[in-house]
Chains A and B, each alone.
Chain A
């Protein structure tokens, strides 16, 4: 065949490759990864176990710590036993003083917004609790 003949007996001179397409592709890939990396770093995650609402009202030394996330007329309110605090830092400060072996239960009432729930979960994480459980408060 003509094509086969050409490949067998064809021209064997120095091969020159155009670099233009490779440079184009490299820059496009670079732009793509810069773009996706910049967008991807904005989202983080907080992990929690989901359990049924069977946590008692009180907390003893042998039970998990329970943080009630509620809301009143002013805003989000965190309750640990008889103590009431507002704000993630204040909650984390209290949680740091408590034993962490059994974990903490975030019991969420229907009043507050999601930001308050996330703040409570973040406070538990900041206080060093490895196990955080999410419980929807019974109505």
Chain B
């Protein structure tokens, strides 16, 4: 049985690791370097919106327009009314695109958002 157990566990670890890697590799962004908030937010994200340095908005590697965010927000809220979306915006992107994302999420019904920051390094003054 030993080789079979080895193989089963190796496959389990492989799929766990690759699924995590795939999620991380979805949008490599240079996030704002801020410490963030210390309090834990237990509510689920439901929606993770990426904004790259050029201002391209994407969800799960799918490029979308700000207008589509309203529909996507409503869909997510229908499934989980307590969801608080996460915006992962590149620090070099313009605030105009961030405003567009915020407007889309607000119009879709979200009362609050979470903005992802990079806490690995201390923020710029």
- Residues on A close to B: CB < 8 A? 18, 20-21, 24-25, 28-29, 32, 35-36, 39, 41-52, 69, 87-89, 108-119, 121-122, 125, 134, 136-137
Contacts and interface: CB of A to CB of B under 8 A. Distances in A.
A23 to B, nearest CB: 10
Interface residues of B, number: 50
B117 A44 contact: yes
By secondary structure, the B interface counts as mixed
16 contacts: A24-B10, A46-B34, A46-B36, A46-B117, A51-B106, A88-B34, A108-B98, A110-B99, A112-B94, A113-B91, A113-B94, A114-B51, A115-B32, A115-B92, A122-B117, A125-B37
Nearest to A108: B95
B90 A114 contact: yes
Given A45-B37, A115-B32, A122-B123, A21 B113 contact: no
B124 interface: yes
A115 B93 CA distance: 8
A134 B112 CA distance: 9
Contact of B9 (A28, A41, A89): A28
Q: Which interface residue of A18, A117, A121, A125 has the most chain B CB atoms within 10 A?
A: A117
